Structures are given as C-alpha cells and as structure tokens.
Amino acid sequence: MNFSHNSGIIRSIILLFFLALSLSKAYSLSSDSSKVRRWYGLRLTLYDAKEKNQILQGINIGLVKSKLKKTNGISLGVLGNRDGFINGLSYGTFINNSRKVNGLLYSPLLAGAKEVNGIAWGGFLTYSKKINGFLVGLFAEGGVVNGVSLSLGVGTDTMTGIALSMGQSSINAKGIFIAGCAFVKPKRGVNSSLTGAAAAAFIHVDHVEGLTVGAATISKRHTGIAVGVINVTQNLYGIQIGALNYAGNNRWPFRLLPLVNVHLKKE
C-alpha cells in the first residue's frame, strides 16, 4: 500500500513537472527583430548549456543549471546558477555565480557575482567585485564593499561600513571594524589605510586616522588614539595608551615610553 501510494505521488510530480514545462512554453514570446525571448510565469529546464538571450518575468527553475540573460523574480538552480542579471532572488545549491544581482544572492556553498546590490550570502565562501549592502559568509572576499560584512574571515580592497570577523585584511577601510584576531594589510608593497575605529588582537596598517584598540598596533602614521599593550608608529599625531608606546617622530628619550606617549604637533 505504501509503495503504490508513493508511486502515485512520484507520477503526480512528474506529471506536474511536464505540465508546468508546457505551460511555461505557452507563455513565452519572441521577437524576430530583437531576437529576445521573454518568459512570463514559471519556466522549468533541465540544463542551460550557455547563456540564452532570454528574459524571464516570474520564476525560473533549472534542475541542473540556470543561465538566462535576465530574471525579474526568482531564479533557482538546483545544482548551480549562472544567470546574467537578476532582480529578486538568486539561488544555487553548490555554486551561485551571476553577473549582477539586485536583491538576494544565496548559496549554501559558494556565492559570487560581479556586482550585488542587496545581500550576498554564501554558506562557505562569498565573493564579489562590488557589494552595496550585506556581505555574509564563513569566508568573504570583495573588491569594493559598501555596507556590512559578517564572516569568520574577510578580505577586501576597499571597505566602507561595518565589519565583524575573526580576521580582516583590507587595503582601504573606512568605518568600524571588529576582528577578533587580526586586522592587517593584505600584502607587502601596498599602502593600506584605516579611517574610523578598529579593534583586534593584532593591528597592522600603514596609515591610521581614528581609534585602534588591540594587544599590538603597528603603523607608519597614526593620527588619533591608539590603545593597547604595545603601540608602535613611525609618526604619531595623537595619543598612545599602553604598556609600551613608541613614536618615531618624538625626540629621545620620549620616543619609547610606558603608559602614555603624546605627539600633537603636525610637522
């Protein structure tokens, strides 16, 4: 009884699939002059081998992979999603790699896009060249991020906003940044800057304007306040508070002082 009942359910699902597939084709329109096919409603496909010159208004479900030119609504790739432009919700189980998403980009494993305006969320890794909104993932990487980043580890070229992580690496950072272990410059030979406030066990930034709180802070130039066990900067224009404070632009014996070091005059 259970077997026949389950078989009936499976047959119904298969029937509904082909019925929905036929209905989606019935509501597709094409124009010979523009060579663009427009879909309205529900579109079900097995596999899109390459990006098609098609625009969908509604829900697109690719059982293996979806790769439309543009989707206004919901695009679901059961295995993967590589649609061009998405206004709405984009989902791919293993990988979701779209060109531009206005809305929510999500994948339990890997989520990425050239540009995201909204939320980019990858269960393991999230990456994007430009994000305006929220960047969320176990590990996150972005070229330009304007908004909020929540991750175990994050790396960006430019970050403007708020970031919470265990470790962060950025070239240019403006805002409030809390990294449990370290906030560091990404590589040698590149000048990094921090404008705002940062808290981490270890902070290494070339140029700081604002407040740093950590066990150790190292910089070439610090304008503002540094609070920590060890504070080291070549050029101080502000106040250092810690067990050991080194300011390279102070005269000896005032370069290395315990508790507090001050240099307020800009040269």
Q: Is residue 13 part of a domain?
A: yes
List pLDDT tens digits, range 60-71. Answer: 777 766 667 788
Residue with the larger pLDDT of the pair 50 and 244: 244
Confidence of residue 50 (pLDDT cuts 50, 70, 90): low
User: What pLDDT is stored for residue 113 in this prediction?
Assistant: 85
Q: Is residue 162 part of a domain?
A: no
Residue with the larger pLDDT of the pair 113 and 207: 207
Residues in the chain: 267
Average pLDDT, the chain: 81
* 197-202 CB contacts, 8 Å cutoff, 24+ apart: 198/173, 200/167, 200/168
Least confident of 9-18, 45-54, 115-124, 192-201: 9-18
User: What pLDDT is stored for residue 22 in this prediction?
Assistant: 45
Strands 110-184 and 95-107: parallel
Q: Is residue 144 part of a domain?
A: no
Chain centroid, CA 6 distance in Å: 43
Angle, vertex CA 122, rays to CA 118 and CA 40, nearest 5: 55
Residue with the larger pLDDT of the pair 28 and 196: 196
Q: Is residue 60 part of a domain?
A: yes
List, in order, residues 6 or more apart from 255 with CB less than 8 Å away: 246, 247, 248
pLDDT above 50: residue 8: yes
Q: Is residue 169 part of a domain?
A: no
List pLDDT tens digits, range 105-139. Answer: 888 888 888 889 999 888 888 888 899 999 888 88
Residues 150 and 39: their CA atoms lie apart, in Å, by: 36
Q: Domains in the chain: how many in total?
A: 1
The radius of gyration of the chain's CA atoms, rounded to the nearest angstrom, is 26
- What is the residue range of 12's domain? 2-108
Residue with the larger pLDDT of the pair 140 and 27: 140
User: What pLDDT is stored for residue 162 in this prediction?
Assistant: 92
pLDDT above 50: residue 239: yes
Q: Is residue 24 part of a domain?
A: yes
User: What pLDDT is stored for residue 47 in this prediction?
Assistant: 65
List pLDDT tens digits, range 156-203. Answer: 888 999 999 888 888 899 999 998 888 887 766 678 899 999 999 999
User: What pLDDT is stored for residue 217 in this prediction?
Assistant: 93
Query: What pTM did the predictor assign?
Result: 0.74
User: What pLDDT is stored for residue 57 in this prediction?
Assistant: 82
User: What pLDDT is stored for residue 258 in this prediction?
Assistant: 93
Q: Is residue 88 part of a domain?
A: yes
Confidence of residue 205 (pLDDT cuts 50, 70, 90): very high
| High-pLDDT (> 90) share of the chain, % | 32
Residue with the larger pLDDT of the pair 267 and 229: 229
Beta bridge partners of 127: 112, 141
**Strands annotated E in the chain:** 28-31, 36-47, 52-66, 68-77, 80-81, 85-92, 95-107, 110-184, 193-199, 202-204, 207-247, 256-263
Q: Is residue 141 part of a domain?
A: no
Question: Please, are residues 83 and 68 in contact by the beta-carbon 8 Å criterion?
Answer: yes
